[in-house]
Amino acid sequence: MKPFILNWPKPSFRLFKNKKRLLFPILAIAGPGLIAANAGNDAGGIATYASAGAQFGYRTLFFMLLVTIALVVVQEMCARIGAYSGEGLGSLIREHFTIRQSSFALTLFVIANIGLVVSEFAGIAAALQLFHVSKFISVPIAAIFVWTLVIFGTYKRAEQLFLILSLAFLTYPVAAILAHPDIKLATNQLLTPHLLYSRSFLLIGVALIGTTITPYMQFYLSGAVTDKGIGPKEYPKERISTIFGAIFANVISMFIIIATAAAITKRGPLASAAEAAIGLKPVAGQFAKELFAFGLLGASALAAAVVPLSTAYAVSEAVGSERSVSKSIREAPIFTGLFTIQVIIGALVALIPGNLINTLINTQALNGIITPIILVYILIIANQKSILGEAANGYVFKTIATICVGVIGALSLVFTVVTFASWFGIKL
């Protein structure tokens, strides 16, 4: 059996085949760290950040500041693991943990990714509902479209279009400024805690963790660093890219919270994508819904293909079976079967009646519960000198990383306990 190394599909940022004509030159040369961090701003991420602003105003900004620190720490560890070990997280977990422990980690990763697939199809449904298209029409068509793109090897042709549509969300910083937020209040709540002890605030907190520090990003980053051939000599540059990417992605996230908080003055959970789109009104005016819809559609469609594809790669690699989008269903039955099952599950769950924004947030909360468990594996690997040599976590970094993982784990545990208690009518 081959080592469990994740051969992730690599995002392409070329608008044309000509190498000299690039969509975004800075993204074309950016390292895996920048790409991985910004992957969190997908359908679930946008909905969660917008809901945080609409429901709690600027209160979650301090929490996002802490999450940013944690993301920098985690992403740096994952990039360093890939550069100094020459292997992806999946391979290292398989080699340095027992079969049961490795299987447990892989199972959690699959569950987390299925949750993400659900959120992406919910995002597609929410986007097209803004054009008055029923989700019972949009989701099945989107599922067939995504499945056809990947299985028949035409996914790359649509990737650039999805990326272009996703760029709509880069207007949020401008929207946040034009919305005339209460800068004094926002700054105060960014730098000092104004947390609430309520299930709804805990839900948003865990969802923010789940959408910002998602397991998919960590597995992708270490695997991409390895696949790109980044070693100890090249790592200093990749380290800068990784840290910058984590900070940049979360700054955008904070602007989404600020823009939504300033635009929506009546506090409460979002009821629809149309309400989430209000945050872009200072930029797009009467076309805010359309701009939001295009961005949400692009981000959702791209992730709806990439996330299940990455899971199929991971599991197929683990069992030593053929894995490639260029292979037929008969040549790679496990790979294509896994991808197909995820698309079907994601689409079917997204069709369940209910508030699509709630579906997006709840799936991110599921990721938030799983994330600290995966982070324990990452922390253990990053601490081992037998794996990373002198690049293993030193005392200071080990302490900071342990605190980050511990706090994330504690918050997820509290939310889980409160949620289970509420099911039995117990108020904590």
Say what percent of the chain tops pLDDT 90. 42
Q: Is 232 exposed, middle or buried (0-12, 13-18, 19+ CB in 10 A)?
A: middle
Each residue of 172-201: pLDDT tens digit?
899 999 999 999 999 999 999 998 888 899
Each residue of 130-181: pLDDT tens digit?
999 999 999 999 999 989 888 886 656 666 666 677 677 788 899 999 999 9
**CB contact at 8 A, 282 and 261:** no
Each residue of 68-111: pLDDT tens digit?
999 999 999 999 999 999 888 888 888 899 989 989 998 998 99
Q: Is the pLDDT of residue 402 over 90?
A: yes
* Per-residue pLDDT band at 301 (split at 50, 70, 90): confident
Per-residue confidence (pLDDT) for residue 2, from 0 to 100: 39
Each residue of 324-343: pLDDT tens digit?
666 778 888 888 899 999 99
H or E element at residue 166? helix 155-166
- Measured over the CA atoms of residue 359, residue 307, residue 166 and residue 52, the dihedral's sign is positive
Please state, in angstroms and rounded to a whole number, the distance separating the CA atoms of residues 322 and 22: 33
Q: Which two tokens stand for residue 12?
A: 């392409």
Please state, in angstroms and rounded to a whole number, the distance separating the CA atoms of residues 139 and 38: 25
pTM for the predicted model, two decimal places: 0.83
Q: Which two tokens stand for residue 182?
A: 């209460």
Q: Count how many residues are written for the chain.
A: 428
Please state, in angstroms and rounded to a whole number, the distance separating the CA atoms of residues 45 and 38: 10
Q: Which two tokens stand for residue 203?
A: 């839900």
Q: Domains, the chain, ranges and CATH?
A: 25-423 (1.20.1740.10)
Each residue of 10-55: pLDDT tens digit?
444 333 344 434 444 444 445 565 555 555 677 888 889 999 999 9
Please state, in angstroms and rounded to a whole number, the distance separating the CA atoms of residues 324 and 309: 10
Please state, in angstroms and rounded to a whole number, the distance separating the CA atoms of residues 36 and 275: 28
Each residue of 283-296: pLDDT tens digit?
888 889 999 998 88
